[in-house]
Chains A and B, each alone.
Chain A
């Protein structure tokens, strides 16, 4: 299991960033990433043979996060849980970028998380999400266009506030 320790140490931050981008709620992301790595640990002998173990952990965490979100939504009769506060040292531009990513439709957000934050290929992303590479490209194109439209204003306003 030394291999798993190396895998965990090397990939945990990337997985966490990706899951955070895909879902936006910090507490749920932390829980989901912990759960996903626990599952990876329990199945490590077989997971090592997976062509993309990092992608598997990311998708397991994203699914767990989505499942918990649904459960929470049911428990509070449709109101989403309050988002955990971002880190105190998060600069204004980063906060605005995250808000813009969080405002994307779920599938676009997941594609941005996997393709941009995790830097997976279109084929890997398609395989993990169960959609075609063409659909991945389409979602990414729309997501980047939406972010491009939102970001200049966000960035400018952050600079203005900083003066």
Chain B
């Protein structure tokens, strides 16, 4: 009688990863340079208007199709996973190639937002215990979803007159955010919603004021 699991383990037991340390260092340095360039691009483009900075940082957004008001067919398909409902009015695409859940599409409309990754659908809205006023667009409000697979997703409504939105983790990490149609979406693929002090802070700036919402969910 063969112990299949042990046989499989033994079949790979002799393998050793032999990448020289220097090679790993070179790879890390190359990636760090890319990250610096991305950050510089964000700073340069941030003064140009909403959404542009994060799109430059995270790769090009899907181009809209005629008549879809900026909502891509991919985003519309994502939105339909929530069932029949009003047409989405805002869509966002984030790309972080090669990571777990390396692409995130968000579609939002009515009081429903849907985030889709490879194989996962995250639905925000209809069953939220905060009641029917939640996500109605009258004030800054947001929801989040997180897992080891897709990281942290934050989706919300901006109050009227919002010019700029900032999303940061409570440890100070800035999260790329996109804003459109009275909605915003932010994605940090390597953020984890656990441990002491975990949480997110959202600031919506109008010409005359700033609204701040903070959600702390750390277990420590």
Chain A residues proximal to chain B, CB less than 8 Å:
8, 12-13, 15-17, 20-21, 30, 33-35, 37-39, 41-43, 46-47, 49-52, 55-56, 59-60, 63-64, 67, 87, 89-90, 93-94, 97-98, 101, 112, 116-117, 127-131, 144, 147-148, 151-152, 155
The reply to whether B15 and A67 form a contact with Cβ atoms under 8 Å apart is no
Question: Interface size on B (CB < 8 Å)?
Answer: 42
Measured between C-beta atoms, what is the minimum distance from A71 to chain B in Å? 10
The reply to whether A148 and B4 form a contact with Cβ atoms under 8 Å apart is yes
Chain B residues proximal to chain A, CB less than 8 Å:
2, 4-5, 7-17, 19, 23-24, 27-28, 31-32, 35, 97-102, 117, 119-120, 147-150, 171, 173, 190-192, 194-195
Task: Take A16-B16, A34-B19, A41-B24 as given contacts and tell me if A116 and B8 are in contact as well, using a CB distance cutoff of 8 Å.
Answer: yes
Number of A-B contacts (CB under 8 A): 128
Q: Which residues of B contact A17 (CB under 8 A)?
A: 12-13, 15
| Closest A residue to B19 using CB positions | A34
The reply to whether B190 and A147 form a contact with Cβ atoms under 8 Å apart is no
The reply to whether B10 and A63 form a contact with Cβ atoms under 8 Å apart is no
| Closest B residue to A37 using CB positions | B24
B148: which of A43, A50, A93 is its contact (CB, 8 Å)?
A: A50
B99: which of A20, A39, A52 is its contact (CB, 8 Å)?
A: A39
The reply to whether A46 and B173 form a contact with Cβ atoms under 8 Å apart is yes
The reply to whether B194 and A51 form a contact with Cβ atoms under 8 Å apart is yes
Q: Which residues of B contact A151 (CB under 8 A)?
A: 2, 4, 7
Q: Which residues of B contact A90 (CB under 8 A)?
A: 14
**CA of A56 to CA of B117, assembled, Å:** 17
**What would 27 A/B residue contacts be, using CB atoms closer than 8 Å?**
A8-B24, A13-B15, A15-B17, A16-B15, A16-B17, A21-B8, A39-B31, A41-B24, A42-B31, A43-B190, A46-B171, A46-B173, A46-B190, A49-B192, A49-B194, A59-B148, A63-B99, A90-B14, A93-B7, A97-B8, A128-B100, A129-B149, A130-B119, A131-B119, A144-B4, A144-B5, A148-B2
